[in-house]
Amino acid sequence: NAGVTQTPKFRVLKTGQSMTLLCAQDMNHEYMYWYRQDPGMGLRLIHYSVGEGTTAKGEVPDGYNVSRLKKQNFLLGLESAAPSQTSVYFCASSYSRGFLNTEAFFGQGTRLTVV
């Protein structure tokens, strides 16, 4: 049982390049999220998904796109990377029990540097 797996773990991009971060979960969770973590800022929500085929914007969505074609996968894309997107990216997943939310499980993170 791997939980939440993020690929890659590290990446250096040049300004203007594109890339896709992959998140995979094996817990059959409905909800998936992408956060970015910056020093002194906590974790901020980029995009989220409440089920296969659905996505929505979070707090800081500009410059990112997402897709959830399969329930277990949630992809985060950067079409034209900018230095301001240098950050550590975390994927998380969770499920609800009735109308109550439960524990969110996080991946190990992807450290992205844009030069």
Residue 30 near residue 51 (C-beta atoms within 8 A): yes
Residue 68 C-beta: closest distance to another protein, Å: 12
> What does the binding site for another protein look like in residue numbers (CB under 8 A)?
4, 31, 33, 35, 40-45, 48-50, 56, 58, 90, 92, 94, 96, 99-101, 103-109
Distant-in-sequence, close-in-space partners of 105: CB < 8 Å, separation ≥ 6: 3, 4, 25, 27, 29, 92, 93, 94
Residue 26 C-beta: closest distance to another protein, Å: 15
Residue 35 C-beta: closest distance to another protein, Å: 8
Distant-in-sequence, close-in-space partners of 90: CB < 8 Å, separation ≥ 6: 6, 34, 35, 36, 37, 43, 106, 107, 109, 110
Residue 15 C-beta: closest distance to another protein, Å: 26
Between 77 and 105, CB nearer to another protein:
105
Between 20 and 44, CB nearer to another protein:
44
